[in-house]
Amino acid sequence: MALRAVFFDLDGTLLDTAQDLSAALASIMQEDGLEPLALNIARNIVSEGSYALVKAGYELNDNDKRIEPLRQRLLEHYMAKLNQHTTPFAGIEQLIDSLQSRGLAWGIVTNKPWPLTEPLVKQFRFASEPSCVLAPEHVQQRKPHPESLYLACKQTGCEPFEAIYIGDHLRDIECGRNAGMKTIAVNYGYIPADEDSRQWQADHYVDSADEIWPIVQRYL
């Protein structure tokens, strides 16, 4: 393997967005006279998206017609305060600096909607610009289907076997494997307490972003 690119999931992998998303959920719940979810509970649901957050906060089943209007309210609150507390995870900025110093491209492949992804990513400046920023709107099939990673490779100018995909959810690892990439599962992300990431069959596992660069170096 001649490594040329590293691709990241966004929420729970590259950026710690849990506090802002939890605050958006808390805002609408408080408007409705409800006690908000604790941050540690909401944090474990963030990777599942706004739909799952609303479902958990309001204790609704999948078919409840209240979910979509509540989800839209949550997204409005989140968009208004998109980056109050969001930061790169510890070690991410140094990691991208290392990638840049070795001439490696990096990009973002997320299931987060583009209207939220684009303005959020623009608020951060790293050592180099991402070669791609891809959301569900850019493809026909969402992760874990590999279409988004194939597009990331096309935009970056590499082949899937020349890339690594990093994520904090089973679908990320499945997406990377389906695309023929090496995968890294990050245990610092938004993983439910009752889920064992070691069962995901990733190529590597890390407990902090500081552990990623030594793995990347193995493929140089």
C-alpha to C-alpha distance for 61 and 41, rounded to whole angstroms? 18
Catalytic residues: 9, 11
Helices (H), the chain: 18-31, 39-43, 50-58, 67-80, 92-101, 114-122, 147-156, 170-179, 212-218
- Whether the CB-CB separation of 214 and 198 falls below 8 Å is answered with no
Phi, psi of 91 (to 5 degrees): 100, -15
C-alpha to C-alpha distance for 193 and 215, rounded to whole angstroms? 25
Count the Cβ atoms, other than its own, within 10 Å of residue 198. Answer: 10
